[in-house]
Structure 1
Amino acid sequence: MLVVINIIGVLVYLAIAFLFSKDKKNVNWRSTIIVLVINLLLAWVLTSFAFGRDIVKGAADGFNWLVQVSYQGIVFALPNWVTPEFGGTAKAMNFVTSALLPILMIVPLFDILTYIGVLPWIIKWVGRGLSFITGQPKFESFFSVEMMFLGNTEALAVSKLQLQTMRKERDVTLAMMSMSCVTASILGAYTQMVPGQFVLTAVPLNILNAIIVTNILNPVKVGPEEDTIAKMGGSSSNAEASVADEAADAKTPREPFFSFLGDSILGAGRLILIIAANVIAFVALAAMIDKILALFNPWLSLEHILGIIMFPFAWLMGLNVHDAFGFAQYMGTKLVTNEFVVMGKLTTIINNPHYFSPHYRAILTVFITSFANFSTTGMIIGAFKGMVDQEKNDLISKNVGYMLLSGILVSLLSAGIVGLFVW
């Protein structure tokens, strides 16, 4: 029975997207169905077959290895922050040490891969392959893969020329897609807090579901003359778009490596401060709201209110009523704050079978593995403001509701699809 509810849930999430579609007559159903089938097959393979589970486990182990290597740098500077198993003297590692400080090594590593051309090559060819298979415009496919490695604001930054030359309706599509990604360079932090195999399963599913949801919510017909890609130049930490001309690109002087690396490390440091500041502020604000609500009724809390609002969507994941209410509270907290706040609450209990069944653990991990929350809308609008004209900025600002709806539906679809295969 719960499996049937889960299937109905996936269909309901798609129906909600269609209900709010800006142009129902021009939805590309052929492409949508193709991407949905690919998504179902991918989730089935990565969760139900030994070789699929080995793939995601190997990737998760790889990120964990990178994190463990990063601890060597932390031990050198702050030995009392790291536990003895990694060479330090701490009794236990806190959130900053275990999840955030490794970003100081992992972000520059990904930037180096961009600098030497490895990531741009992967992004280009995977994006082209995705466009060929799904029938989606080349740049939208390219951008979805770009987000998977670089993150939303970084992917927007390296696509500046494309954003300036595309129609404003397509820019809205990219703004909506930007709600659904994560940055590969902080996946290591996620895998230290929640089950890594489901974190890494969520990443490609989010990319494909972003294509599905935006294709339904904001269908835009792209003619052959528009279906082009401006070439990406620079690095993910200091990048700007350049004309898609190889000869012109070859003449562009590249930033000296160590100058580039220094900028990348400083950028990683700023990212850590931003995440830490957001987590501290959001947790404190949520606690303050709870105390104010308790003055009116001891039962009232932000999580309870959000749980009631999100309960129908949680129940459609194939959960019983009790579990659905708890799941809905995590969903609401994540949307109002961010994924790190929820992961911090789950770190010590998510792998305990007394708290969560395999199905619950899988769908919860997948749902929270994205940047879909209220604060991300501000980041995306801010990124566009520095790159496109006022007319495009105004249109994107008017579509904040659609951006948030897109991010929520993508997270729901990814979790619902994974839930079909994990019980």
Structure 2
Amino acid sequence: MSLLQFQAAIGLALLCLLAWACGGFRRGVRPRVLAAGLLGQLLLAGALLHIPPLRAGFALLGDTVEALARATRAGTSLVFGYLGGAPLPFAETTPGASFILFFQALPLVLVVGALSAVLYHWRLLPLVVDGLAAGLRRLFGLSGACTLSVAANVFVGMVEAPLLIRPWLAGLSRAELFTTMVAGLATISGNMLVVYASMIAPVVPDAAGQLLTASLVSAPAAILAALLMIPEERAPAAAAVEGPMPRLHDSTMDALVRGTADGLQLLLGIMASLIVFVALVALANGVLEPLIGLTLQGIAGVVFWPLAWAMGVPVEDCAAVARSLGIKVVVNEFVSYLDLASGGGAGLAERSRLILTYALCGFTNFASVGIMVTGMAALCPERRAEISALGLPSLVAASIACCMAGATVGVLTPP
């Protein structure tokens, strides 16, 4: 083991300690949870990163993402013309100036949203989710409802996953409710995974496979971070799930239409969030920089520096990685990945870029907390106050979980 790998191993232990400290060093943390969380991350990441057949299978995702991007470009070219990727009617004087994020990259959300709905209706997605949920349930000893939501979060969003267990939300223990919320923030949905993979493919080899691995590894990391902060205090039998996952659509065409509509809502939400939060950060920087000589990104670079080090990042790369982590929390992970793809990670070592890719793979930002709290409160109004109170703690735990995923890769990847 190299020095940087040993640094990441120490950092993984320190991140566990940080999660426990953020919860007030509560008693009741079960050794089973700690062992399952750490071993689950290491074994899952090790298998997906270093077993050739699995690695090759995940590498095929890159071809799938490229095929989806080409298909989407055909649609955007028809609807938006050269704004959507069709040939330019004029000479491009500045390389890359013709790329328009909203018209060329974001419409991929529509296509993937529709395909996800169809795969769910065909029972292919529930089959995978059920398998993941069974594994997590055996590892951690949580209820079927909680682990089902955590497993679903690997593929769907932070509100859609709890929707699958709506009848059981009121019966979850406080620790299980918190775990459900943390998992929603510590992972990314399948449609955003495809978008991010297409964005960072030029700078991160096998981007789609790496992001899917990151989302899978973040599932046990999220459970571990959540139960270190708020340990389980009762048996989980009260929230067992009976029967298959519910059907959400009447037919394949209904799934296609509703999936497209849901994708459109997400597309518009992303656009609005990007405009508002980037503008607010620019406004805050306009106030802070003349006063203290620092921007929000600069402050984040200081605050998150220890987390970058804990993931096994070399000292010379820690400031850049910390800055990206800060952008993710203050704005969102979309802007962080966009920065990484557009040259923000140009000076980073390849291993540091890989670790950062894993650490950014989650909805850990303030806007997502608001979306999740609002959505879950609507699903379970009788626990509205409890859900609201757990909002910011879930952001802390999910941020630690994403850093745990980064540290896991740091342990398994030599310099």
TM-score by length of 1: 0.87
**What does the per-residue CA deviation read over 1:351-385, in whole Å, with 9 as the maximum and x for residues that have no partner?**
75xx2212111111111111011111111110122
Percent identity among equivalent residues? 22
SS at match of 1:226: helix
Give the Cα–Cα distance (whole angstroms) in 2 for the partners of residues 93 and 3 of structure 1: 39
Give the Cα–Cα distance (whole angstroms) in 2 for the partners of residues 351 and 345 of structure 1: 7
The change in CA–CA distance for 1:218 and 1:47 in structure 2 (over 3 A counts) is same
Could you tell me which runs of 5 or more consecutive residues in structure 1 were left unpaired when the two chains were aligned: 236-253
Runs of 4+ in structure 1 over 6 Å off: 87-90
Give the Cα–Cα distance (whole angstroms) in 2 for the partners of residues 152 and 273 of structure 1: 17
Match of 1:232 among 236, 245, 252: 245
The change in CA–CA distance for 1:72 and 1:406 in structure 2 (over 3 A counts) is same
- The residue number in structure 1 matching 2:361 is 369
Moved more, 179-188 or 55-64: 55-64
**What does the per-residue CA deviation read over 1:96-124, in whole Å, with 9 as the maximum and x for residues that have no partner?**
23431111111011001112222222222
1:13 aligns with 2:11: no
SS at match of 2:188: coil
The change in CA–CA distance for 1:183 and 1:372 in structure 2 (over 3 A counts) is same
Match of 2:31 among 17, 29, 42: 29
The change in CA–CA distance for 1:64 and 1:19 in structure 2 (over 3 A counts) is same
Give the Cα–Cα distance (whole angstroms) in 1 for the partners of residues 236 and 101 of structure 2: 49
Q: Which amino acid aligns with 2:214?
A: A
Q: Which amino acid aligns with 1:387?
A: L
Matched positions, count:
399
Give the Cα–Cα distance (whole angstroms) in 2 for the partners of residues 386 and 339 of structure 1: 25
- The residue number in structure 2 matching 1:157 is 163
- The residue number in structure 2 matching 1:251 is none
Give the Cα–Cα distance (whole angstroms) in 2 for the partners of residues 16 and 107 of structure 1: 36
**What does the per-residue CA deviation read over 1:133-176, in whole Å, with 9 as the maximum and x for residues that have no partner?**
44333222211111112211111122211113334443233223
After superposition, the CA RMSD in angstroms is: 2.3
1:68 aligns with 2:70: yes
Q: How does 1:86-165 map to 2 (within 5 A)?
A: 92-165=98-171
Q: Is the 8 A contact 1:63 1:191 kept in 2?
A: yes
Q: Is the 8 A contact 1:193 1:343 kept in 2?
A: yes
Match of 1:393 among 384, 392, 396: 384
SS at match of 1:156: helix
Q: Is the 8 A contact 2:115 2:256 kept in 1?
A: no
Q: Which amino acid aligns with 1:192?
A: S
Q: Is the 8 A contact 1:98 1:192 kept in 2?
A: no
1:183 aligns with 2:175: no
Q: How does 1:17-416 map to 2 (within 5 A)?
A: 17-21=19-23, 24-83=26-85, 92-194=98-200, 195=204, 196=207, 197-223=209-235, 225-229=237-241, 231-235=244-248, 255-297=250-292, 299-349=293-343, 352=346, 355-390=347-382, 392-416=383-407
The structural deviation recorded for 1:206 is 0.8
TM-score by length of 2: 0.89
Q: Is the 8 A contact 2:284 2:296 kept in 1?
A: yes
The change in CA–CA distance for 1:283 and 1:389 in structure 2 (over 3 A counts) is closer
- The residue number in structure 1 matching 2:410 is 419
SS at match of 2:59: helix
Q: Which amino acid aligns with 1:64?
A: E
Q: Which amino acid aligns with 1:66?
A: L
Q: Which amino acid aligns with 1:292?
A: V
The change in CA–CA distance for 1:349 and 1:55 in structure 2 (over 3 A counts) is farther
